[in-house]
RNA sequence: GUGGUCGUAGCUCAGCUGGUAGAGCAUCCGGUUGUGGUCCGGAAUGUCGCGGGUUCGAGCCCCGUCGAUCACCCCA
């Protein structure tokens, strides 16, 4: 047996890159926080039935990509392939839908889909998502989209675009799908494509082949089937986005992978990520809560792919600001002062000052090199002299200047400097 | 899930038509007594993804396998 390796298709983040990952995730979350969303911390596995009913049996996600297993009590458990169903379950279970509306929450964590991996498509991946439940003001739709766009702007992403559409209500969709199927039945298609259309006729809009594309050009468009109310709602969403200065493209042949979407739907597509170009998406879901046994409330939310957004930042050459750099790096001179240095570091940390120490038996030069690499703002050499005098030279690593400090009150002097 | 490409030191890669491995960066040490970033010198490091096979001999050829990756598919 050779060495262990990570399971197929999982992404891992470790220094230095983990800092970039963390920065991306925090930026996404921060955008939700400033818009009034609060944390929802949920399990990564749920009753299999929740996804089957919530996401839809006919979707690829449910029918062939779920990690499903039986627990020791014989229950069928599934690793969450998406976030919305779990949020709905929890909202219903804890009666949040009976309180003040809308319920606005964000979540962040791992999701699981057993697909064939490639860059940007992982079997365990990270999403940050938000949900606004209980009201169907078009302004909330615009807010949700804006939360994502604001985060992208904060990150400095430029090479992407936003697509929006309206999928209408259930009745509309039924009428439309019927006509679309009829249209498709007139086309000369191969077997596998017919099977695909059978499952979800909208899929053909997404086909990459030119001949299919041109065949679908004259297909009926859902937008033409919208009820006056749906159309008005969509107009209001668009005009609010316009007021926000958010640019978008209306894509009236957008296909979403989850069954529960109704009304407003949207996607964020990046241009430098190859085939896995969707960095996020979402939409409104009218019947979902009721479907899961809760009250008949509407909701809207998105899921953003943290892995892909990080990839997008890298593709655009975006520099991640150096966060959390150390305030102080202590270099002990020899064994005799090591204990003192470590204790001093411990005490300073208790004051909230970030400190690290040159561990190992490094010579002074090596210790200073370590101080440099650590990115600490100050370095302090501790030797027998310093312990004897109770004073030391605090070196500013950027300017190279030193100031004399009293070791006993070091925390006070440092707090003034940082 | 289908098809293609790739897999050599920590990282990025070189290795001509098969003769048992190299560079740059990173790491560590040093350039005379206690201060880093430049420069100079030196050192360490690989079961050439793994397992079979062909061959006198394989990193280079064949098969399998694992993983990554590209496209399809799907989607975050």
Tens of pLDDT along A265-275?
A: 999 999 999 89
Q: Does A54 have pLDDT greater than 70? A: yes
Residue with minimal CA–C1' distance to B68 is: A118
Residue A274, by phi and psi: left (phi above 0), alpha (psi -120 to 50) or beta?
Answer: left
Q: What is the pLDDT of residue A323?
A: 65
Which residues have C-beta within 8 Å of that of residue A190, sequence separation ≥ 6? none
Write down the domain spans for chain A. 17-168+226-315, 328-417
pLDDT in tens, A185-233: 888 888 778 888 888 888 888 888 888 888 888 899 999 999 999 999 9
In this complex, the answer to whether residue A258 has its CB under 7 A from any atom of chain B, a nucleic strand, is yes
Between CA A1 and C1' B52 the distance (Å) reads 15
* Contact (CB, 8 A) for A298 and A285: yes
- 8 A C-beta contact, residue A418 and residue A397: no
Tokens for A200, please give them. Answer: 């979800």
Question: Which nt has its C1' nearest the CA of A200?
Answer: B74
Tell me how far apart the alpha carbons of residues A225 and A229 are, in angstroms, rounded to a whole number: 11
Q: Is the CB of A367 under 7 A from strand B?
A: no
CATH number corresponding to A328-417 = 3.40.50.800
Residues 46-85 in A having a C-beta less than 7 A from any atom of strand B are: 59-61, 65, 82
Q: Which window residues (266-295, chain A) lie with Cβ within 7 Å of strand B? A: 267-268, 274-281
Alpha helices in A71-209 (DSSP H): 84-93, 138-155, 170-185, 191-199
Interval A331-356: pLDDT, tens: 999 888 999 999 999 999 999 999 99
Does the predicted interface ipTM exceed a cut of 0.85?
yes
Which strand B bases fall within 7 angstroms of a protein CB? Answer: 1-3, 27-31, 34-37, 47, 49-50, 66-76
Mean pLDDT of A392-397: 94
Sign of the C-alpha dihedral, residues A172, A176, A177, A182?
positive
Nucleotide nearest to A368 (CA to C1'): B36
In angstroms, how far is B6 C1' from A275 CA? Answer: 19
Over residues A56-66, the mean pLDDT reads 89
* Nucleic strand B within 7 A of Cβ A255: yes
What does A330-345 look like in DSSP terms, one character per residue?
EEE-SHHHHHHHHHHH
Q: A399: which nucleotide lies closest, measuring CA to C1'?
A: B37
Question: In the complex, which nucleotide's C1' lies nearest to the CA atom of residue A369?
Answer: B36
For strand B, is any atom closer than 7 Å to the CB of A178? no
Write the class of the CATH domain A17-168+226-315. Answer: alpha beta
pLDDT over threshold 90, residue A321 = no
Q: How many angstroms is C1' of B76 away from CA of A107?
A: 14
Is the separation of the CB atoms in A114 and A67 below 8 Å?
yes
Strand B at less than 7 A from CB of A384: yes
């Amino acid at each position: 047996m050779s060495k262990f390796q990570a399971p197929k298709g999982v992404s891992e983040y470790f220094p230095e890159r983990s800092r970039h990952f963390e920065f991306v995730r925090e930026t996404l979350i921060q955008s939700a926080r400033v818009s009034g969303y609060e944390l929802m911390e949920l399990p990564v596995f749920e009753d299999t039935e929740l996804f089957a009913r919530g996401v839809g049996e006919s979707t690829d996600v449910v029918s062939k990509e779920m990690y499903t297993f039986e627990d020791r009590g014989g229950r069928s458990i599934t690793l969450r392939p998406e976030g919305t169903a779990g949020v709905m379950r929890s909202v219903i279970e804890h009666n949040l839908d009976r309180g003040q509306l809308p319920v606005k929450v964000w979540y962040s964590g791992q999701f699981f889909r057993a697909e064939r991996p490639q860059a940007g498509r992982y079997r365990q991946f990270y999403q940050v998502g938000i949900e606004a439940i209980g009201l169907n003001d078009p302004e909330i739709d615009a807010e949700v989209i804006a939360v994502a766009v604001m985060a992208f702007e904060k990150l400095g992403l430029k090479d992407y675009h936003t697509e929006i559409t309206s999928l209408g209500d259930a009745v509309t969709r039924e009428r439309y799908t019927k006509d679309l199927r009829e249209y498709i039945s007139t086309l000369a298609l191969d077997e596998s494509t017919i099977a695909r259309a059978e499952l979800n006729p909208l899929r053909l809009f997404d086909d990459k082949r030119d001949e299919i594309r041109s065949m679908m050009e004259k297909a009926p468009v859902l937008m033409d089937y919208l009820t006056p109310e749906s159309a008005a709602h969509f107009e209001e969403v668009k005009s609010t986005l316009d007021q926000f200065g958010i640019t978008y493209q209306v894509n009236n042949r957008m296909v979403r992978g989850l069954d529960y979407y109704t009304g407003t739907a949207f996607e964020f597509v990046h241009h430098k990520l190859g085939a896995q170009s969707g960095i996020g998406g979402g939409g409104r879901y009218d019947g979902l809560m009721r479907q899961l046994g809760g009250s008949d409330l509407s909701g809207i939310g998105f899921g953003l792919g943290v892995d892909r957004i990080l990839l997008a930042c890298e593709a655009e050459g975006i520099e991640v600001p150096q966060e959390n750099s150390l305030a102080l790096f202590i270099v002990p001179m020899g064994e005799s002062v090591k204990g003192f240095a470590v204790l001093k570091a411990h005490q300073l940390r208790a004051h909230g000052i970030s400190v690290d120490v040159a561990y190992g038996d490094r010579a002074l030069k090596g210790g200073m090199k370590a101080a440099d690499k650590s990115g600490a703002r100050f370095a302090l050499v501790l030797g027998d002299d310093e312990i004897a005098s109770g004073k030391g030279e605090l070196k500013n690593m950027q300017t190279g200047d030193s100031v004399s400090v009293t070791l006993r009150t070091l925390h006070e002097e440092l707090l003034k400097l940082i």
